[in-house]
């Protein structure tokens, strides 16, 4: 196939491929997004693409902090790309929301100008929690090498926090304060955490700047959701075949998508509410439901499923004992931890989540979900355990994914396989120091207060985790159903 997806070739697509419903030549940027990865392109850029049909200059200037891979891949395509919806009723849409792509190492002046432009009304980002550069107490980590660099060189920052602070300093000087900073990361209280990082950074530059940001700039909290597996060669081949054109970096996701934004803006915004975005005064309920019901069971499927040789979410949920574990975990320990006046709504949400896991068309790899466990588990599982302990509710099944994670770390370290985690060296060292013996390694891991905090000294919690490590270690050779039935049989 020779022809490339581009503005010029859009008219060659078949009528069943959706295309941008606005003028790609005339529409300009009003959003700068830091971290234009697959999730952003499948989620926020998708919603913005739909909203552009209602008018306004809301296209996106995407900023990659380090890699120029995306910029190069989409350069010949006028930054167009395909979004494949993968389920029983598949569809294909060409997204045109991203007008410009820049890389910090190559385009610093262009990026700085865009961030400071009066036309830019939204600065958004998906940089994962580590990109916020916060310490364990929730304040700016001034020992972080990137933050140290940026405080010493505020005119050439290399962190997202430093970049935003630099732009807001220029905007304070110019009087262009009608800009909103939106975190789109899967992090609790993401807007508050981003605000804390930026304002703490600003105080090191000028107390007046920090106060101006506090008084004038909104950092709304958000909740984002849609399963977006990585693009592989099979996806690229299928999309190009269906398009009849080459697309060098299409993306795929499930049909379900959700974006909830706190209704707190310091400037104008796209008409996202017209295309399915929910605006609310309080994101916390949506956030907690998603983190605990979706992300909590996702991590459970990942660590337990990998232990028994499962590869994908679909493989795992199609295993009877694993589905039974998820159902019991939701009913007994997760849903009771979420306060609501409408338990039926919460139960329906949980049913919908499990139904999404049964999408056989999505190859959502458990190995990908298992990344960064030391950072994800505190929000996905440990906070639920804390609430249940405080309320004297059950925590037995919530300790299963923690036990499975401990075994995951032990086995990865023993085999010499890489562990994708910011604490990988600590995890591997602990496993090695304890000769990869599951109980000893688990005790050492549970002593890591940087991960488990006060739970490290909770004997009830520790006893449940150790019991599950023992069961999962001793009986895993019998298979997943037999092993998990021993755990479920104790309920």
- The answer to whether residue 5 is domain-embedded is no
Q: Which of 235, 257, 281 is the last residue of a domain?
A: 281
Banded pLDDT at 68 (limits 50, 70, 90): very high
For 343, what's the count of Cα atoms within 13 Å in the CB-facing half-sphere? 6
Pair (365, 483) in one structural domain:
yes
User: pLDDT tens digits for 142-166?
Assistant: 999 999 999 999 999 999 999 999 9
Q: What is the predicted pLDDT for the residue at 129?
A: 86
Pair (391, 484) in one structural domain:
yes
Pair (374, 274) in one structural domain:
no
- The answer to whether residue 428 is domain-embedded is yes
Q: Which of 281, 312, 335 is the last residue of a domain?
A: 281
Pair (178, 251) in one structural domain:
yes
User: pLDDT tens digits for 424-449?
Assistant: 999 999 999 999 999 999 999 999 99
- The answer to whether residue 324 is domain-embedded is yes
60 pLDDT above the threshold of 60: yes
CATH number, residue 32? 3.40.50.720
- The answer to whether residue 255 is domain-embedded is yes
Domain with 458 in it: 285-488
Pair (413, 400) in one structural domain:
yes
- The answer to whether residue 352 is domain-embedded is yes
Q: What is the predicted pLDDT for the residue at 411?
A: 96
Pair (311, 164) in one structural domain:
no
Please state the rounded mean pLDDT for residues 276-299.
94
Pair (248, 364) in one structural domain:
no
Pair (265, 333) in one structural domain:
no
Pair (202, 323) in one structural domain:
no
Q: Which of 281, 315, 339 is the last residue of a domain?
A: 281
Pair (359, 307) in one structural domain:
yes
Number of domains the chain is built from:
2
User: Which of the pair, 344 or 480, is modelled with greater confidence?
Assistant: 480
- Cα 191 to Cα 259: distance, rounded to the nearest angstrom: 14
Q: What is the predicted pLDDT for the residue at 474?
A: 86
Q: What is the predicted pLDDT for the residue at 491?
A: 67
Please state the rounded mean pLDDT for residues 188-205.
96
Q: What is the predicted pLDDT for the residue at 2?
A: 67
pTM of the model: 0.85
Residues sharing a CB contact under 8 Å with residue 151, sequence separation 6 or more, in sequence order? 142, 162, 201, 204, 205
CATH number, residue 465? 1.10.1040.10
Pair (254, 382) in one structural domain:
no
- The answer to whether residue 340 is domain-embedded is yes
Q: What is the mean pLDDT of the chain?
A: 95
CA-based end-to-end distance of the chain:
58
User: pLDDT tens digits for 2-29?
Assistant: 699 999 999 999 889 999 999 999 999 9
Pair (268, 402) in one structural domain:
no
User: pLDDT tens digits for 307-358?
Assistant: 999 999 999 999 999 999 999 999 999 999 998 877 888 999 999 999 999 9
User: Which of the pair, 129 or 461, is modelled with greater confidence?
Assistant: 461
């Amino acid at each position: 196939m020779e022809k490339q997806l581009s503005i010029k070739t859009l008219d060659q697509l078949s009528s069943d491929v959706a295309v941008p419903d606005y003028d790609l030549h005339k529409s300009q940027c009003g959003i700068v997004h830091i971290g234009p990865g697959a999730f952003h392109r499948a989620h926020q850029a998708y919603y913005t693409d739909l909203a552009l049909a209602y008018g306004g200059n809301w296209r996106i200037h995407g900023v990659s902090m380090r890699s120029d891979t995306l910029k190069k891949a989409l350069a010949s395509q006028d930054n167009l790309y395909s979004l494949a919806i993968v389920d029983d009723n598949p569809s294909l849409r060409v997204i045109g929301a991203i007008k410009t792509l820049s890389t910090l190492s190559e385009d610093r002046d262009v990026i700085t100008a865009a961030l400071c432009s009066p036309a830019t009304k939204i600065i958004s980002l998906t940089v994962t929690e580590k990109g916020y550069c916060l310490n364990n107490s929730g304040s700016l980590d001034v020992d972080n090498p990137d933050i140290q660099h940026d405080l010493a060189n505020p005119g050439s920052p290399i962190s997202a926090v430093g970049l935003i602070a630099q732009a807001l300093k220029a905007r304070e000087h110019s009087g262009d304060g009608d800009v909103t900073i939106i975190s789109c990361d899967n992090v609790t209280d993401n807007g508050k955490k981003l605000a804390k990082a930026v304002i703490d950074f600003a105080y090191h530059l000028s107390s007046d700047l920090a106060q101006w940001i506090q008084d004038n700039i909104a950092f709304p909290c958000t909740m984002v959701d849609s399963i977006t597996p990585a693009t592989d060669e099979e996806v690229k081949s299928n999309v190009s075949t269906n398009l009849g054109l080459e697309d060098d970096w299409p993306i795929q996701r499930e049909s379900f998508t959700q974006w909830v934004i706190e209704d707190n803006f310091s400037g104008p915004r796209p008409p996202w509410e017209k295309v399915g975005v929910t605006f609310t005064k309080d994101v916390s309920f949506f956030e907690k439901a998603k983190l605990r019901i979706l992300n909590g069971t996702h991590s459970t499927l990942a660590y337990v499923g990998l232990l028994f040789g499962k590869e994908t979410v679909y493989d795992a949920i199609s295993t009877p004992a694993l589905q039974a574990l998820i159902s019991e975990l939701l009913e007994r320990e997760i849903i009771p931890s979420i306060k609501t006046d409408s338990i039926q709504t919460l139960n329906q949400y949980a049913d919908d989540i499990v139904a999404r896991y049964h999408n056989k068309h999505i190859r959502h790899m458990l190995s990908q979900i298992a990344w960064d466990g030391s950072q994800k588990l505190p929000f996905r599982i440990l906070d639920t355990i804390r609430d249940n302990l405080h309320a004297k509710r059950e925590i037995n099944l919530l300790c299963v994914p923690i036990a499975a994670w401990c075994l995951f770390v032990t086995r990865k370290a023993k085999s010499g396989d890489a562990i994708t985690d910011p604490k990988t060296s600590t995890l591997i060292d602990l496993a090695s120091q304890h000769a990869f013996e599951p109980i000893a390694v688990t005790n050492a891991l549970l002593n890591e207060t940087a991960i488990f905090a006060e739970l490290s000294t909770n004997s009830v919690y520790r006893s449940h985790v150790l019991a599950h490590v023992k069961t999962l270690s001793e009986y895993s050779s019998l298979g997943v159903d037999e092993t998990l039935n021993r755990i479920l049989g104790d309920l």
